[in-house]
Amino acid sequence: MKSRELHRAQNKSNLDKNNKLLLQAYKQIGALCDGWLLPGTVSDTAKHLYKDADESRLFKGKSPEALIAGCLFLACRYNNVPRSFREVTELTKVSKKEIGRTFKTLEQFLMNRDKESSKAKVSTAGGQVVAQEGYTGTAGADPADLCERYCDVLNMARPTSNVAVALAGRMTAIGILAGRSPLSSAAACIFMAGHLMNQPKTAKDIQVVVHVSDSTIRHAYKHLYQEKDKLITEEILARGADPERLPKPA
């Protein structure tokens, strides 16, 4: 009888400890999302992902901080507000390598789970977690989305931001800079758009915001410049873009 009571008390103690750790993780996720001014849906998604992963043996022994960072990275992509590994590293102080490793494990976990279940509770609607059909992985960050965000940070005028987004969309469609980092691709489009619209930003100005070296930005821009006739459409010209303002690559 005493053995049974002791076992019951131990189970309750373990449950209380797990609940406490889960609440701590939820609090940390909420604080990180607030730091980025992300919508509540991102926080809800990240919390749900964390709970599912935390209950899996696959993540036993993994750092809670790394798991939180991976869940946050994935939740941002789910809710169409992607952040790069580098940005998540700066926010969470978890290494880029560890975030990447955790993210891959998370994706594999979700894909394997959805093979066994037709419902994957990983998205949000109206502030509530709802079911979604099979997880198939997330797409990489979209340079066009990055352009819009970084142009805002650089205080560039809306017409210039729109041209940067249009350039990024066109660049992706015709395959210029294919295989390159979305960050360097976005940075090059911002550099080009700024000059086209007479609101130039130097590569060093953009580097501070995008965290890509100015030499990488200039090299990516060189490829855009070489394809400028294909890249700069009539629609972009109609927005006030002037190709004559573009500096020749060094």
Q: What is the DSSP string of 28-87?
A: HHHHHHHHTT--HHHHHHHHHHHHHHHTSGGGTT--HHHHHHHHHHHHHHHTT----HHH
Find out whether 79 and 138 touch, Cβ atoms under 8 Å: no
Whichever domain contains 32, its CATH number is: 1.10.472.10
In a domain, 93, yes or no: yes
Instruction: Tell whether 98 and 211 lie within a shared domain.
Output: no
In a domain, 250, yes or no: no
Domain region containing 192: 143-245
Residue pLDDT, tens place only, 63-113: 899 999 999 988 888 777 778 888 889 889 999 888 888 888 888 887 776
Find out whether 135 and 173 touch, Cβ atoms under 8 Å: no
Q: Please give the chain's pLDDT, 250 residues, in tens.
A: 545 554 554 555 555 666 788 899 999 999 999 988 888 888 998 998 898 888 888 888 788 999 999 999 888 887 777 788 888 898 899 998 888 888 888 888 877 766 655 444 444 444 444 334 444 455 556 888 889 889 999 999 999 999 999 999 999 999 998 878 888 899 999 999 999 999 999 999 999 888 888 999 999 999 999 999 999 999 999 999 999 999 999 7
pLDDT computed for residue 116 by the predictor = 57
Rounded distance, CA 32 to CA 28, Å?
6
Rounded distance, CA 91 to CA 156, Å?
24
pTM: 0.57
Instruction: Tell whether 128 and 148 lie within a shared domain.
Output: no
Instruction: Tell whether 120 and 201 lie within a shared domain.
Output: no
Instruction: Tell whether 163 and 104 lie within a shared domain.
Output: no
In a domain, 138, yes or no: no
In a domain, 213, yes or no: yes
Among the candidates 81, 113, 132, a domain finishes at 132
The helix or strand, by DSSP H or E, that contains position 20, with its residue range, turns out to be: helix 2-35
Q: How many residues does the chain have?
A: 250
What is residue 243's DSSP assignment?
Answer: G
In a domain, 218, yes or no: yes
Number of domains in the chain: 2
Burial class (CB in 10 A: 0-12, 13-18, 19+), 6: exposed
